[in-house]
Chains A and B, each alone.
Chain A
Amino acid sequence: EDQVTQSPEALRLQEGESSSLNCSYTVSGLRGLFWYRQDPGKGPEFLFTLYSAGEEKEKERLKATLTKKESFLHITAPKPEDSATYLCAVQAGEDSNYQLIWGAGTKLIIKP
């Protein structure tokens, strides 16, 4: 069964304290892995798409990496405004209907 697991469930960091969020997946034929950010009461905001192992993408303080089993979202010197829930999702198989399999998310809290 296709599955996406994110860890930790919640992460509290001091401002400037770098860390990583994990997304491990078990799917039959990865088409793409997606990272989103969601603020309370809002829809998810697209961050990155990764397609193949070894691929990396960066945006400001965030860098996403991908292996054959997992993806990491590295956050460098975070600021309080980076506080949010970070969601990981994968698109799997030959099906081209764009359906995503979602992880439960990691709630990131950055304390000033």
Chain B
Amino acid sequence: GAVVSQHPSRVICKSGTSVKIECRSLDFQATTMFWYRQFPKKSLMLMATSNEGSKATYEQGVEKDKFLINHASLTLSTLTVTSAHPEDSSFYICSAPTSGSDEQYFGPGTRLTVT
């Protein structure tokens, strides 16, 4: 199957600072990537759809000015959590479908802790 990586795997930051999470498709090109957030013992919550070369589409209730998404190339999308607060602490996961396929392949996730 296709491989998606995320970096960093874990990050701890202070309240008020910004954190950037990278999502890369390693062996395929992804015009679309998805960013999810997952709370403990809960399922995945879609935050936004990242489209290469255009603006991301955010789900209802997700602040686009707080969660900045940039999909600058066919293999890289970034999620920047700006002015992070403790309530932003969560597990963030990205995914991407391969071309011509419906399956989405997920990154290993990033655990963000805001102190």
Q: Which of B19-51 contact A (CB under 8 A)?
A: 32, 34, 42-44, 46, 49
A67–B32 CA distance with the chains assembled, in angstroms = 29
A43 closest partner in B (C-beta): B106
Q: How large is the interface on A (under 10, 10 to 19, 20 to 34, 35 or more residues)?
A: 20 to 34
Chain A positions within 8 Å of B, measured between CB atoms, are: 31-32, 34, 36, 41-46, 49, 87, 91, 97-100, 102-105
User: What are 18 A-B residue pairs whose CB atoms fall within 8 Å in the complex?
Assistant: A36-B106, A41-B109, A42-B108, A42-B109, A43-B106, A44-B95, A45-B106, A46-B104, A87-B43, A91-B102, A98-B32, A98-B97, A98-B102, A99-B34, A102-B43, A102-B46, A104-B43, A105-B43
Q: Which of B34, B46, B104, B106 has the most CB of A within 10 A?
A: B104
What secondary structure prevails in chain B residues at the interface with A? Answer: strand
Give the docked Cα–Cα distance between A26 and B49 (Å).
Answer: 23
Shortest C-beta distance, B64 to chain A (Å), equals 17
